Each structure stands twice: as structure tokens, then as C-alpha cells.
């Protein structure tokens, strides 16, 4: 099989993932996009493994590792999202800005300085 097909698919998958991570607001969708990127890499690993005819099948083994680690990572990520949701009743990534520098909030920011402690969702 030609190497180009899986690579193009992987590139498309990765691009979709990047777009999701950068543009989606919902934290779960961001996590899903991360998964897409990981799987694009997995696809590359498997494709190159086959293409290179690696006797030890290092690419496939690494893929398995990646899947396991991705599962663990997504579990952790979902747990964090769950906690965030319990605390704030929303999981919009671009509104979780507790760690910003003071004074760089968007225009309708409340009083700078105290804003870091208030619940952004409640203020808006």
C-alpha cells in the first residue's frame, strides 16, 4: 500500500485535532481533540512500522503504549474537568482565566486585583 494515504489521513486528523484544541471552548471537546492528535500520531507510527518492515515492530509497540497512556491521561483530564464543572458550573476553557496577569482581562473585566478571586461566570 502506498504510504501517502495513511499519512494524509494522519495529517488531516492532526489538523482537526489542532483546530479543536485551539478553537473549541468546551473542555471535553478540547480533550477529544487532543485524542485526535494522539491517534494521528498512532496512525503514523503504525504506518511507518509497516512501511519500514521493522522486525521488532517498535512502532506498533509504541502505539500500544501511547493508547494506554492516552487512556490514563484522558481519565485524569476528565476528572479535572469534572471538578471544574462542580466548582463553576461551566467548563468553557476561555473563561477559566484565574492565572492571568492582572490588568490584562478583556474590556468588561470587573475591578482588577479582586477579579482573580471572584467567579468569572457569576460576574458575567
Partner 1 sequence: MIASTALVILLPFAAAFAGFLFGPRLSRPLRNGPAVLACAPVAAAAVLAAVVAFAVWRTPGARTGTLSMIPTGGVDIAIGLQVDGLAALVGLMVCCVALAVQIYSIAYMAGDPRYSSYAAFVSLFTAAMLLVVYAGDLLLLYVGWEVMGVCSYFLIGHHWEDRANSRAAVKAFLVTRLGDVGFLLGIIVLGVGAGTFEIDGVLGRVGTLPDATVTAAALLLLAGVAGKSAQFPLHTWLPDAMAGPTPISALIHAATMVAAGIYVVARLYPAFLAAPAALTVLGLLAVISMVGAALAALAQDDLKRVLAYSTVSQLAVMAAGLAVGADTGAVFHLLTHGAFKALLFLAAGCVITVAGSNMLRDYGGLRQNMPLTFWSMTIGLAALAGVPPASGWLSKDAVIEGAQHTALHGGEIPGAAAWIVYLGLLATVALTAAYAMRAWLMTFFGEPRGSYEIREAPPLMSWPVAALAVPAAVLGFFGLGAAELRPHVGAALIGLVFLLLGGGAAFLVWNRDPALDPARVLGPARPAFARAFYVDEAYAYAVAAPIRALARRVVAFDTRGIDALAVGAARGTRRLSGPLRIPQNGNPQTYLTGLLAGVVIITAGVVIFL
Q: Least distance (Å) from partner 1 to the CB of residue 57? A: 29
Count the site residues for partner 1 by CB under 8 A.
16
Binding pattern for the stretch 13-42 against partner 1, x by CB under 8 A and - elsewhere: -----x--xxx-------------------
> What length does the chain have?
124
User: Which residues within the stretch 64-103 sit at the binding site for partner 1 (CB under 8 A)?
Assistant: 93-94, 96-101, 103
Considering the complex, what minimum distance in angstroms separates the CB of residue 14 from partner 1? 11
Burial class (CB in 10 A: 0-12, 13-18, 19+), 38: buried
Of the pair 60, 92, the CB lying nearest partner 1 is at 92
Q: How far is the CB of 104 from partner 1 (least distance, A)?
A: 5
Instruction: Of 91, 85, 124, 80, give the one whose Cα is nearest residue 105.
Output: 124
Helix axes 27-52, 4-23, angle to 10 degrees: 160
Q: Is 26 helix (H, G, I), strand (E, B) or coil?
A: strand
Q: 92 by DSSP, 3-state: which?
A: strand
Closest distance between partner 1 and the C-beta of residue 30, in Å? Answer: 8
Distance of CA 101 to the CA centre of its chain: 23
Does residue 105 interact with partner 1 by CB under 8 A? Answer: yes
Q: Which residues bind to partner 1, rule: CB under 8 A?
A: 18, 21-23, 93-94, 96-101, 103-106
Amino acid at each position: 500500500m502506498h504510504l501517502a494515504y495513511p499519512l494524509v489521513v494522519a495529517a488531516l486528523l492532526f489538523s482537526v485535532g489542532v483546530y479543536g484544541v485551539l478553537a473549541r471552548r468546551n473542555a471535553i471537546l478540547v480533550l477529544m481533540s487532543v485524542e485526535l492528535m494522539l491517534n494521528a500520531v498512532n496512525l503514523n507510527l503504525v504506518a511507518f512500522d509497516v512501511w519500514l518492515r521493522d522486525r521488532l515492530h517498535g512502532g506498533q509497540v509504541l502505539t500500544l503504549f501511547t493508547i494506554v497512556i492516552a487512556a490514563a491521561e484522558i481519565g485524569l483530564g476528565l476528572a479535572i474537568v469534572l471538578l471544574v464543572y462542580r466548582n463553576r458550573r461551566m467548563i468553557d476553557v476561555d473563561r477559566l482565566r484565574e492565572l492571568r496577569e492582572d490588568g490584562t482581562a478583556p474590556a468588561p473585566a470587573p475591578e482588577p486585583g479582586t477579579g482573580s478571586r471572584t467567579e468569572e461566570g457569576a460576574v458575567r
